[in-house]
Amino acid sequence: MAENQLGGQQYLVLPEGASRLLGKEAQRTNIAVGYAVASIVKTTLGPKGMDKMLVSELGDITITNDGATILEEMNVEHPIAKILVEVAKTQDKEVGDGTTSAVIISGDLLKNAGNLLDQGIPPAAIIKGYEMAHEKSVEILKGVASDVSIDDEKKLAEIAMISVGSKNIGSETTKRALTKLVIQAVKQVSMREGGKVTIDRDFIKLEKKEGASIEDTQFINGVLIDKEVAHSGMPKSTKNAAIALLDVALEIEKTEVDAKIEITSPEQMQAFLNQEEKMLKDMVGKITASKANVIFVQKGIDDVAQHYLAKAGVMAIRRVKKSDMEKLAKATGARLVTSLEDLTPKDLGFAGQVEERKIAGEQMIFVEKCKDPKSVTIFVRGGTKQTADEVERALTDVIGSLVSVIEEGKYVSGGGSTEVEIAMKLRDMATDVGGREQLAIQAFADALEVIPKALADSSGMDPIDTLVQLRSKHKSKDGKSFGIDVYGNRIADMEKLGVIEPMKVKSQALSSATEASVSILRIDDMISSKGSRPSGPGPGGMPPGMGGME
């Protein structure tokens, strides 16, 4: 009867072709979809995790291990799948690393919630239990974390190596060399104020070009710009560069002139051209008067102005992106000038060398040897575009990892050890809480253990046996940093192995995973207008064979 009533309402309110899922059916479907999405990235977790190859509609290929990239490139259409993609994106934005973990924890939170629903526990109780468990787990996390400072090179190197460890971008030696570059870059742009260190990730530029080996990736103490010198008569290399940054067009605005002058004779035309040339010459005069010998211009440079600049020996680069102008300002100390009238020698910046070099058939401008630049570049290389892309993604993770651990000053042990520790302590707490929430807290604890289980699985260990061993180890004294030694196929002390990670990677993953699963559980009614498909995995939604639960 009730169903008929609902059907009737639907018929009245919703447009033709719309579909609707209600109550348990909506929750079940959403949980299945969420879990299916998480399962896709699960096998990529950790250094022994596998890569995914993604082929776009246009045939572009991406080979990656990066959770955020995989989910983004999959172009999932299902709204619930999109929530999980958001989890990965948020993690990427806030921390830069830990995207896969965040998504697979969300998946298991959902799966376990599904089991509780089956036992008749109402969604509200699950949600409440999950939120309590989340709050408590952040507390536990803080309790097990240790301090680290920007001057602790050894710890930073370990953290960087763990972050890059899961990416297939070459040997241990290559990875070590790459992480060294990142540490150098992060330290260079860091700002200390009082006891606090802040780092703006935007000022570590990753510029990439294929056509050389990963080992050729280099640190540039300054900015690398994908542009060329404007005119062939200009110098291609300038030492001790005095740099002006101009947000000015070195051109005559045509419309402005047309409006004022009506040309009726060839003499007038000549006079007009002379006038125009004089204006451009004057512009160049103002630049040379400031003693600038290299200029970066955000807008265009007229041919005539280029000619005069070349004659004066000034190297000019035009149509430079605004973001690059900001980086140049930070690197060279130059001030961005918006009117030539304002340009004075004080506005100029400095670089030991500005040079145009040909890289893989294209010109690039190297602004190097800056004095204590607060903006630097890592020039990423790789044999193919795919490799260079994956190196870039790996370095983005390392940068994110280092920035968050330095800013927060806290790290925890990896290899699933922290997740097991939190899970154990949560279970203790759950018994004090009692009731239905107790079951939800236990389910939350179980979900965290998906991390050690997936790591064990990836190295061929039995996930359940290993988890049992880990739990018993964590009950003993000095057992709190025991996790999966993926290379030794055993459990071991992660801290001693140097498997450590920023606390922020874990805390952010816990919050976004909790938030996503709770918001999915709150949905008990899915109404989709014609054309969209809320009813589970299907064309455009999920790849075949990815649906369903374990």
The three-class DSSP label of residue 97 is: coil
95 binds ligand ADP (CB under 6 A): no
The three-class DSSP label of residue 255 is: helix
Q: Based on CB atoms, which residue is closest to Mg ion, 97 or 390?
A: 97
94 binds Mg ion (CB under 5 A): no
Q: Tokens 């619930």 appear where? A: 80
At its nearest, how many Å lie between ligand ADP and the CB of residue 448? Answer: 11
Given the residues 62, 99, 332, 418, the one annotated as active site: 99
Q: Residue 246's closest CA among 349, 152, 370, 144?
A: 349
Amino acid identity for residue 60 in this structure? D
At its nearest, how many Å lie between ligand ADP and the CB of residue 108? Answer: 14
Q: Residue 222's closest CA among 60, 364, 387, 353?
A: 353
Active-site annotation holds for 99: yes
Q: Based on CB atoms, which residue is closest to ligand ADP, 250 or 455?
A: 455
Number of residues that bind ligand ADP (CB under 6 A): 24
466 binds ligand ADP (CB under 6 A): no
Amino acid identity for residue 489 in this structure? N
Q: Cα dist. 99→5, 52, 69, 456, 506 in Å?
A: 44, 15, 9, 19, 10
Q: Residue 426's closest CA among 449, 442, 414?
A: 442
501 binds Mg ion (CB under 5 A): no
Active-site annotation holds for 397: yes
Given the residues 43, 90, 100, 217, the one annotated as active site: 100
Contact between residue 333 and residue 349 where contact means Cβ atoms under 8 Å apart: yes
Stretch of residues binding ligand ADP (CB under 6 A), selected from 76-84, 93-101, 228-236, 472-480:
93-101
* Phi, psi for residue 499 in degrees, rounded to 5: -90, 90
Among 34, 415, 502, 534, binds ligand ADP (CB under 6 A): 415
Q: Tokens 């376990």 appear where? A: 112
Among 96, 107, 129, 165, binds ligand ADP (CB under 6 A): 165
Among 32, 37, 38, 45, binds ligand ADP (CB under 6 A): 45
Q: Select the residue whose beta carbon is closest to ligand ADP and give its number.
A: 414
Contact between residue 387 and residue 214 where contact means Cβ atoms under 8 Å apart: yes
Q: What is the Cα–Cα distance from 338 to 93, expressed in whole angstroms? A: 32
Q: Based on CB atoms, which residue is closest to ligand ADP, 67 or 114?
A: 67
400 binds ligand ADP (CB under 6 A): no
Q: Based on CB atoms, which residue is closest to ligand ADP, 40 or 325?
A: 40
66 binds Mg ion (CB under 5 A): no
The neighbouring-strand residues paired with 61 are 55
Task: Decide the pairing of beta strands 410-413 and 218-220.
Answer: unpaired
501 binds ligand ADP (CB under 6 A): yes
Q: Which residues contact 380 (CB under 8 A, 6 or more apart)?
A: 206, 207, 208, 209, 217, 388, 391, 392, 395
Q: Tokens 């290899």 appear where? A: 415
At its nearest, how many Å lie between ligand ADP and the CB of residue 125? Answer: 29
Q: Based on CB atoms, which residue is closest to ligand ADP, 155 or 281?
A: 155
108 binds Mg ion (CB under 5 A): no
390 binds Mg ion (CB under 5 A): no
Stretch of residues binding Mg ion (CB under 5 A), selected from 96-104, 280-288, 410-418, 514-522:
96-104
% helix / strand / coil in the chain, to the nearest 5? 55, 20, 30
Among 34, 49, 382, 537, binds ligand ADP (CB under 6 A): 49
107 binds ligand ADP (CB under 6 A): no
Active-site annotation holds for 347: no
Q: Tokens 């000022």 appear where? A: 203
Active-site annotation holds for 66: yes
Given the residues 29, 43, 64, 66, the one annotated as active site: 66
Contact between residue 231 and residue 308 where contact means Cβ atoms under 8 Å apart: no
* DSSP letter, residue 548: S
Q: Which residues contact 233 (CB under 8 A, 6 or more apart)?
A: 307, 310, 311
Amino acid identity for residue 483 in this structure? G
At its nearest, how many Å lie between ligand ADP and the CB of residue 420? Answer: 11
92 binds Mg ion (CB under 5 A): no
Contact between residue 516 and residue 504 where contact means Cβ atoms under 8 Å apart: no
40 binds ligand ADP (CB under 6 A): no
96 binds ligand ADP (CB under 6 A): no
Among 97, 324, 368, 457, binds Mg ion (CB under 5 A): 97
98 binds ligand ADP (CB under 6 A): yes
- Please give the structure tokens belonging to residue 467: 């988890």
Task: Count the alpha carbons within 13 Å of 483 in the hemisphere toward its beta carbon.
Answer: 29
399 binds ligand ADP (CB under 6 A): no
250 binds ligand ADP (CB under 6 A): no
The neighbouring-strand residues paired with 209 are 381
Q: Which does 67 bind (CB under 5 to 8 A by kind): ligand ADP, Mg ion, none?
A: ligand ADP
At its nearest, how many Å lie between ligand ADP and the CB of residue 494? Answer: 7
Q: Residue 353's closest CA among 375, 378, 332, 381?
A: 332
Q: Which residues bind Mg ion (CB under 5 A)?
A: 97
Q: Which residues bind ligand ADP (CB under 6 A)?
A: 44-47, 49, 65, 67, 97-101, 162, 165-166, 414-416, 451, 455, 484, 486, 499, 501
Catalytically annotated residues: 66, 99-100, 397
